[in-house]
Chains A and B, each alone.
Chain A
Amino acid sequence: MNETLWRRSDEWIGATVEDALVMISVERGTYLHLNPTAAVAWDILESPVSAARITEHLSSRFAVTPEHCAQSVATMLRRFEECGLIVAS
């Protein structure tokens, strides 16, 4: 089991707009939007958390199987990391 704990990087700040999240990079000035599901994951990432814990939370909240959710969370965390949104704790 992957026990890596992920946390938000200091580079990005965000604000909720109509259930989504608008994010801006403090260092680069670039913007991105997180959809409502990713915005929930961002909320969870306020404290260091594992992919398994995020999967557990999202699959209990949204109508999705744990297996499918785990795959989606892995993809999302990879994209978050590529964008510099999160770092391994």
Chain B
Amino acid sequence: MAVPLHRAAAFGLHWLSDLPLTPFEPAPPGAGDVTILRTDHLADRPSPRPLNNGQIHPDGFRLHWGQEAVFDMFDGARITYLPGPEWTGAFPSSLFGTVAALTLAWRGALPFHACAVELDGEAFLIAGPSGSGKSGLTAGLIGVGARFVCDDLSVLQAGAGLTISPGRSTMRLDPALVGSIDAVDRAPAPGDARGKWLVRPRARTALGEMPVAGLLLLASAGRPIQPLERPAVLTSEVFRPRWLAAFPNHRERLARILEHGRGLPIARFPSIGEATVTDPSQRARDALTALAGMRRP
């Protein structure tokens, strides 16, 4: 088995791997929380419970990612990958999305299908259905002074309150938006069927962890979301919900969402399909005003 030479940080953990972890931030030498190594055969794992494109075991899960690779996660601390017939030589994006999210959830974290930005030390989630404009609005908010925290996948920890750590350091954007953001680097996303680009914003948060102050829900106009409704809204934005519902810590995770979700301000904001404001800069400023309205006094 190869030696993990690559170190990176994301979602509050240190990841070690025998291949580059490009979407994560490079990390200095030190102990890792999760080690990712290639294997030449699939382990014989007990009591498989089939689910979607994989299975759940008492000590973790197995995920088949097309013909590219099979990932095995053990105890939230170790991932092995077996390259398949369509292996490209680099990790598929699923490692930094689904596999990472499920590994974090196994460890007790709360993954959400949401973007996040930081304003003055506090994070705000931007959630909504696929195609509602989460990433575009996040890019717009960065353009008016917010700092990038996460794109598409935000992983929260529930302690004394809800907190978040930066996730992948890149955003997946429509080509039309790529030029609108000050970026360290930008390139077409390998294998993206929608033609999206990967962009690493220059304005990324410098904080390792920060409190979550609110959630902007990209949705149709409607009455304000009441505190009683907050946990249900938050639950509806959970990342890979079928997988998480089958995990042994599902009950504890729901209890945390209930406990902490009731105090999290949530405001509606027009999705891109329903927006009457078409100027992206004005839309970003309007979103900034909505975020400011959620801030605790």
Contact = CB atoms under 8 A, between A and B. Distances in A.
Contact of A17 (B235, B255, B262): B262
Contact of A13 (B227, B241, B245, B258): B258
Nearest to A32: B232
Contacts of A17: 227-228, 230-231, 262
A13 B250 CA distance: 12
In the complex, which range does the number of interface residues on chain A fall in? 10 to 19
Nearest to B257: A24
Interface of A: 13-18, 20, 22, 24, 26, 29, 31, 33
Given A15-B262, A31-B235, A20 B228 contact: yes
Given A14-B258, A15-B259, A24-B257, 19 more contacts: A13-B251, A13-B254, A13-B255, A15-B255, A17-B228, A17-B231, A18-B228, A20-B228, A22-B231, A22-B232, A22-B262, A24-B231, A24-B254, A26-B250, A26-B254, A29-B241, A31-B232, A31-B235, A33-B228
Task: Name A's interface SS.
Answer: strand
Contact of B258 (A15, A18, A29): A15
19 contacts: A14-B258, A15-B259, A16-B262, A17-B227, A17-B230, A17-B231, A17-B262, A18-B228, A22-B231, A22-B232, A22-B262, A24-B232, A24-B254, A24-B258, A26-B254, A29-B241, A29-B245, A31-B231, A31-B232
Contacts of A18: 227-228
Contacts of A16: 262
A24 B235 contact: yes
Nearest to B259: A15
Closest 3 CB pairs of A and B: A15-B258, A31-B232, A17-B262
Contacts of B262: 15-17, 22
Contacts of B241: 29
A13 B254 CA distance: 8
A26 B246 CA distance: 10
